[in-house]
Amino acid sequence: MPNFEQINIVDDSLEPTEKEFIEAEFQSEVIELSARVQQAIEKIKSRQDSVAADIFELKEHLTERTAKYEKLIDEYDTVSSELIKRSRNIFSRTLNWLKINEIQNRIHKMEVLISEYQESFAAAHEVMVLLEIQAKDEREIDHLKEQITDFRGRGREAYKKLVEFQALQAAREVSGICRRHNCLLIHSFSVDLDPSSQTSVLINKGEGIGFEKKIDIITGLSPELSTTSFRLNLPEGEKKDSWFIADGVGLILKGGQVSEISRSDAGTSVRGMTRESSQVQESNNVAELEDDLDQAIHHKTSSHNEITIKKPEIGGLIFSVSNASPNEIIDHRHLPSMVKKINQMQLPIYIQTSAGKIFRAELVNERILVHGEVNIDNILDKSFAVDDDKKKEAQEAIFNDAPFNLDMPEKHAVDAYQYGKDIASLYMVMTSSKMSGDGRLYVLNQATKLMARHRLSIDGQSTFEVQADITYFEGFISGLQEVAPKVKELYFSSIDKELEWQQRLRREIKQMELGSMDSQDFDSHQESLQYSISKVQKWYKQIMEHFLSLSMIATALLEEVSIDVVTRNEIKKIFKNVRQAAESVPESDYHQLLDPDFHYDLLARRLGNDGLFKMTKDDLKHVRSL
């Protein structure tokens, strides 16, 4: 009988840390295997109890049968002796022939019975052997032992990967890297951002995105940041490091995890708060990471490298200047717009010179007072941190303004509605007052800029813009009436080809199933079919999203009370054309997007009193680079 106490799911010979990890990480599997072992033990015990009872009963039966057999043998011997005695001579045989015949018959019957006893004993022996085999049968446990061995192997492998992961995470930690390589990791930026000049997730709202908003985004949302390294105390004569200067302003990072490392600019773009694409891949182990860091920091191939940081922690603000010395007062053209946030955050300030030196500094009446030179440890060990309250304040400030490029249907729909309101407003300005030629041209240029926001595309491959002569409103309305048919034409030319491809795939899959076609490519055909189906479904959804935006423009135009009845009827044709084009879209779930009630519910949820889109934290996954 196996000892349950000795059948441990987790190997007792493991180090305590590894054993505790496996027990915690695979808790449900340990419980399940333990239960199955217990069930197996109980099943074996039940079987063995049953077998033991059968063996006992068989032995009792054999004991009884053996006693009868032995008695029969004794009787057989006695009768046989009597037969011999009576058959000793001819006279005796003649005299006792009747008795002898009777004895012979009796002996024959006894021999038959003896043979039956012997056969039953042989059969009982075979049964006893089988029962003893069953009593030793532990196949359930043997099978589970194989599973336990497999489980232990997986547990050890998981722990090994954990140790490697933890070592890699420790090696990725920003402060450790900065200390090992005696360098700063600096995220630089333009104080006033123009998205057309650099990749960004931020939307330029005319006046640009200011310093305060950038700091709020970084402290409130901890997005991935691109940095460049700057080494301190380089030997005389060695070329000093440079970072992507922009306005000569950057953030020193004191915490976070290094993800991607490049010896030059990696061309990183962003979706959500994380990297979407770049030209490099993350290092997979500590040795590879250290080699990548060494190459990027000490052997960069351009003026600056690029090191991407996840969950960044700010260590201070740094200004790049040509020269500086202790007690010197320095001006910076962007400082007045930064002072409020610096004081609010109590951001440590540092000065970096072209000679590669770093000085501690402080604000004095919107100017910078330079103090003494500092080293890596001085900067990283400074007790500055952004607490949870400051993060929450930053998040509230961000979501109240939503300065992101959000790639999501509801955002596009609200933008389209605002676009319609702006067009109607511009038209009313043009028609309700006598404007100079320059003023009229300005209004037309503004309208053209608005129209340029709404490009229609299929997977970003082919695009067209709403073409309309907006020098007069009626012509603009006519142009909008043509959008829905154009959208349908653009998409359905591709959809029809995909549907034909799906039919071909289905025919060939059927032929493979029937055996009339080689089934070698069966799986790839199935995958191709599913991919094509999902692609068409995505296109149907995109069509309806375009129709939603078009309907939102028309909705906004109709809200302009000064528009005459004839023009209103023309605007309503936009809805009619949208509905007719939407009839070709079989996915009924998308048709709610054209319901007027849905439009007004959307506006109630998403349009703020200030005309801005109401953003939520969940929307951050839709942020992308411009």
**Distance set, CA 108 to CA 66, 145, 151, 493 (Å):** 20, 58, 67, 103
Whole-number pLDDT of residue 184: 92
- d(CA 346, CA 362) in angstroms, rounded, equals 10
174 pLDDT more than 60: yes
Paired residues of 350 in beta bridges: 318, 360
Domain boundaries, the chain: 4-159, 181-401, 409-622
Quick check: 429 pLDDT over 50? yes
Q: Above pLDDT 90, what percent of the chain?
A: 10
Q: 33 near 151, Cβ under 8 Å?
A: yes
DSSP three-state, residue 16: helix
Q: Are 555 and 596 in contact (CB under 8 A)?
A: yes
Residue 452 burial (CB count, 10 A): 10
Between 9 and 171, residue with greater pLDDT: 171
Q: Which of 452, 411, 412, 427 is nearest to 571 (CA)?
A: 427
pLDDT grade for 219, boundaries at 50, 70 and 90: confident
Q: How confident is the model at residue 456 (pLDDT cuts 50, 70, 90)?
A: very low
The two three-digit tokens of residue 211, written as one number: 């310093």
pLDDT at 271: 45
Q: Residue 90 — very low, low, confident or very high, per pLDDT cuts 50/70/90? A: low
Number of other CB atoms surrounding residue 139 within 10 Å: 9
The verdict on pTM exceeding 0.95 is no
For residues 285 and 238, the answer to whether their CB atoms sit within 8 Å is no
The region of weakest confidence among 19-23, 171-175, 524-528, 570-574 is: 19-23
- Evaluate if residue 543 carries a pLDDT over 90: no
Helices (H), 136-195: 139-172, 174-181
- Given the DSSP bridges, would you call strands 306-321 and 367-373 parallel, antiparallel or unpaired? unpaired
3-state SS assignment for residue 242: coil
CATH number of 4-159: 1.10.287
Q: Which two tokens stand for residue 396?
A: 């509230």
Higher pLDDT, 597 or 124: 597
Q: Give, in order, the Cα–Cα distances in Å from 513 to each of 38, 500, 501, 516, 518.
A: 45, 20, 18, 8, 9
- Give the mean model confidence (pLDDT) for residues 265-278: 50
Query: What is the spatial distance between Cα 356 and Cα 489, in angstroms, rounded to a whole number?
Result: 60
Eight-state DSSP code of residue 239 = P
* pLDDT average, residue stretch 87-114: 72
**Band of pLDDT at residue 195, cut at 50, 70 and 90:** very low
What mean pLDDT is reported for the chain?
77
For residue 128, give the nearest of 69, 71, 63 by alpha carbon. 63
- CA-to-CA distance for 567 and 548, rounded, in angstroms? 21
Residue 134 CB-half CA count within 13 A: 18
215: pLDDT strictly greater than 80: yes
Q: What is the pLDDT of residue 262?
A: 82
Q: How wide is the angle at C-alpha 257 spanned by C-alphas 282 and 221, nearest 5°?
A: 110
**Mean pLDDT value of segment 413-432:** 74
